[in-house]
């Protein structure tokens, strides 16, 4: 039986309703068809390092999960300012994202006039956490954390410790070690892990406070580096015999590691944040992604947008009196 045709008024009401449905964003300014274009994923560091590896690994998964092209762009320069300026100037639609760290979002704005703060981004979640370790060379006279600390206390300033730049979390944590705990060492800034490694292996510094990225882990496994202290809140599962700064009585010295977060510009719609947060969570549960980043660097429990925000807020609170 043929259905009777709808009347014109009814058709008009249906059309209006359909248009209203298409325009409904749930009141949060979001978009139901996200993503609707290629996604730019910025890295504020050069290609080849742990930040680049983490971003490309996650980016590949986001591309698959979101069914959208993800273009990873390395924009090093200005201690992260170049990429961050690009991020905060982008449309808040989820099509420009970036890796962020406490260094790029807190230390750089505190130490330089860059025109932004960590409040100018929208946190999405934690991609990886890379702790720092205080390490000595295999022929060092300091066989334990206690040996190193006792030597530093006995003769303040005589031990040289390499860090990846004076205004890095590592450099500032050693300043806090002196100011808050009366353990003074001489901080020697370098341009990165490669220079620090060469200096330690060449006997030009007594120790390094260095991010335990893959290259450092390889040196630890080979015996070239001997880790004495870890920056993590609790002992690392893969370095169970290495005490933490907190264990040794240096409360609060847990900020020298690096949290690699994913973020968008400020005012990112809630539904886009939720989509990206859920997708990132799913990616980090994938064995392929975990192995690509390094299983030891992927938090056992997913760090969501709120937890990334807490990392940045805490770093701001601790470091602003020092650098502000």
What ranges do the domains of the chain cover? 39-129+258-323, 132-230
Q: What is the mean pLDDT of residues 288-293?
A: 96
User: For residue 113, which phi and psi values (nearest 5 degrees)?
Assistant: -85, 95
Task: State the DSSP string of 243-312.
Answer: PBTTTTT-TT---SSEEEEEEEETT--HHHHHHHHHHHHHHHT-HHHHHHH-GGGS-SS--BHHHHHHHH
Distance CA 172, CA 316 (A): 13
**CA-wise closest residue to 311 among 255, 242, 237, 239:** 255
Q: What is the mean pLDDT of the chain?
A: 89
Per residue in 170-186, pLDDT (tens digit) is 999 999 999 999 999 99
CATH class of the domain comprising 39-129+258-323: alpha beta
210-229 residues labelled b (16+ CB within 10 A) or e (exposed): bbbbbbbbebbeeebbbbbb
pLDDT of residue 225: 97
SS3 160: strand
User: pLDDT tens across 198-213, in order?
Assistant: 999 999 999 999 999 8
pLDDT for the residue numbered 50: 87
Among 74, 96, 124, 109, which residue's Cα sits nearest to residue 259? 124
Q: Answer whether residue 9 shows pLDDT above 90.
A: no
Copy the structure tokens of residue 216.
């450092």
β-pairing verdict for 132-137 and 207-211:
antiparallel
Judge contact between 42 and 73, C-beta under 8 A: yes
Contact 67, 37 (CB under 8 A): no
Does residue 3 carry a pLDDT above 50? Answer: no
Displacement of CA 29 from its chain's centroid (Å) = 27
Q: Which two tokens stand for residue 13?
A: 């009401």
Name the CATH architecture for the domain at 132-230: 3-Layer(aba) Sandwich (3.40)
- Distance spanning both ends of the chain, measured CA to CA: 79
214-252 residue pLDDT tens = 889 999 999 999 999 999 999 999 999 999 999 999 998
Using an 8 Å Cβ cutoff, are 315 and 322 in contact?
no
User: Is the confidence at residue 145, as pLDDT, over 80?
Assistant: yes
Residue 131 region, left (φ>0) first, then alpha (ψ -120 to 50), else beta? beta
DSSP alpha helices (H): ranges in the chain? 8-23, 50-66, 81-88, 102, 108-111, 145-154, 169-181, 193-201, 214-222, 270-284, 287-293, 305-323
d(CA 82, CA 147): 42
Is residue 160 within 8 A of residue 148, CB to CB? The reply is no
């Amino acid at each position: 039986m043929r259905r009777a045709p709808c009347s014109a008024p009814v058709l008009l009401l249906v059309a209006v309703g359909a248009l209203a449905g298409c325009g409904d964003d749930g009141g949060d300014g979001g978009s139901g068809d996200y993503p609707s274009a290629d996604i730019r994923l910025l890295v504020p560091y050069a290609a080849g390092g742990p930040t680049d590896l983490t971003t490309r690994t996650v980016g590949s998964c986001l591309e698959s999960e979101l069914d959208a092209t993800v273009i990873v762009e390395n924009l090093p320069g200005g201690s992260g300012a170049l990429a961050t300026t690009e991020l905060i100037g982008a449309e808040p639609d989820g099509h420009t994202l970036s890796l962020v760290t406490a260094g790029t979002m807190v230390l750089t704005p505190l130490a330089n006039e860059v025109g932004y703060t960590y409040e100018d981004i929208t946190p999405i979640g934690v991609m990886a956490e890379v702790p720092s370790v205080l390490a000595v060379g295999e022929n060092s006279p300091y066989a334990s954390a206690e040996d190193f600390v006792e030597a530093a206390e006995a003769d303040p300033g005589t031990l040289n410790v390499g860090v990846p730049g004076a205004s890095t979390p590592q450099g500032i944590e050693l300043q806090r070690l002196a100011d808050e705990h009366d353990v003074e060492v001489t901080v020697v800034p370098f341009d990165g892990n490669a220079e620090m490694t060469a200096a330690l292996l060449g006997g030009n510094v007594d120790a390094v406070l260095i991010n335990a990225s893959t290259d450092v882990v390889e040196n630890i496994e080979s015996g070239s580096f001997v880790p004495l202290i870890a920056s993590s809140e609790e002992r690392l599962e893969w370095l169970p015999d290495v005490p933490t700064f907190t264990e040794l009585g240096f409360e609060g010295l847990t900020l020298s590691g690096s949290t690699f977060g994913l973020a968008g510009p400020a005012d990112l719609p809630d539904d886009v944040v939720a989509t990206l947060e859920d997708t990132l969570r799913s990616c980090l549960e994938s064995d392929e992604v975990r192995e690509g980043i390094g299983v030891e660097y992927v938090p056992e429990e997913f760090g969501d947008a709120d937890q990334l925000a807490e990392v940045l807020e805490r770093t701001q609170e601790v470091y602003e009196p020092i650098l502000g």
